[in-house]
Amino acid sequence: MSKHTPAPWHVEGRTVYGAKSGHIISHGINSHGDGPKGYVCNTSGTTEADARLIAAAPRLLEELQRLVAIADSGQFRDRAELSIAAHPAYDDARELIKSATGETK
C-alpha cells in the first residue's frame, strides 16, 4: 500500500510573494482522490511545469508499476506480433506524460 496521499493531485492556484524582492511564485498542490482530500504541498519558488510534474507523481508511479507488472507477466513474451504499445497501459502512460508536461491532448 502506498504511503503517499492518494491521487489524483492537481495544481491549484498561483501566489506571488515578495513583489518587491524577486517575485517568488508558489503553486499549491491538492488532492481530490480517495482518502484524505485537500492540501498536499506548496511548491514555493518553482515553475508551473515543475508543479505539474510533482502533481503527476502518484499517477506516474502507478502507471510505471502497471507497465512493469505487464512486462513481468510474460503476456507478450512469445508473441512477436504484439508489443507493449498494443496494451491499454501504453495509451494511459502517453496521456499521463502529456498531463505532466502540460501538452494539449
- Give domain limits for the chain: 9-101
Does residue 100 have a pLDDT over 80? Answer: no
Residues 35-75 have pLDDT tens digits of 556 788 888 877 888 888 889 888 888 888 887 777 777 77
Q: How confident is the model at residue 82 (pLDDT cuts 50, 70, 90)?
A: low
Q: Which of 72, 48, 71, 52 is nearest to 60 (CA)?
A: 52
pLDDT in tens, 2-29: 577 888 888 887 777 665 656 667 888 8
For the entire predicted model, the pTM comes to 0.65
d(CA 88, CA 27): 32
User: Count of CB atoms within 10 A of residue 27's CB?
Assistant: 23
